[in-house]
Amino acid sequence: MAAADTTKAIVIDTEQDAKNFYLQLFAFLTGETACTAIGTRVADKVAMEIVHASWWEKNTIPVTTEADHKKAVRPWRTPGWFADASGNHFLDTEENFEIAQKAAIKAVRSSQEAFLEPILRRLQEQDFATDPTGWTRDNCEKAVQLANENIAAARSADPRRPSYMSVAIFVKTFPPQEVVDEMVDRISDFIERRGRIGQMTNTKIKELTITGIRKIDKADGTDSPLYAANMAMTA
């Protein structure tokens, strides 16, 4: 979040990869498009449904992303979760850490073994290139050593990567209760209508579980529930 833009955001926590639906959800809740074709398709259909659309229009604010784009919404890191190299998401527990680590080691070993197969055959058959840039004995032996080092490194590496299953909407100020209440209702509606929204935007939103809505403010370290009721909504 760029300090010059805003320090405040509404964060909607889910249990699915946010990049698959964050633009659609943003447009469905706010009527704003985030300057994207997907957002425009959704907003054009639902803007008239949103009672407090004017609040969002006045208070959402684009911020600079890592890719140097300006959007009022983006996927946000979800606390208590991690992702592996394949994009699978896990609760951050010791058991899941071990599962992800074993999978990461297996994936590295498999790729290195596939890479080494023809090289080991050359070593076994003594079939080496004479060109120093080709598969000489020395280059083959170096490749075997490097592959073994890669496998060893995978055993000691932490497979956990940030899990972005939350959606952050950047705002100038936090919404009043009536806006929050409508947002909660529309989140529930979005879950029910996700199939049609997916068809509208040529995307698939197979399932969606909302676990909470938070407000964060980088200026004072605020990270607290915005909606106190049980937010477990799924379909």
Q: Where are the beta strands (DSSP E) in the chain?
A: 8-14, 63-64, 70-71, 73-76, 81-83, 89-91, 161-162, 166-171, 209-217, 222-225, 233-234
Which of 172, 164, 197, 166 is closest to 27 using CA atoms?
A: 197
pTM of model > 0.75: yes
* Structure confidence by residue, pLDDT tens digits, 51-90: 999 999 999 999 876 665 789 999 999 999 999 988 899 9
Q: Residue 210 and residue 171: Cα distance in Å, rounded?
A: 20
- CA atoms within a 13 Å half-sphere pointing along the CA-CB vector of 209: 4
What's the chain's average pLDDT? 91
- The residue count for the chain: 235
* Structure confidence by residue, pLDDT tens digits, 193-224: 999 998 988 888 888 999 999 999 988 888 88
Mean pLDDT value across residues 161-170: 96
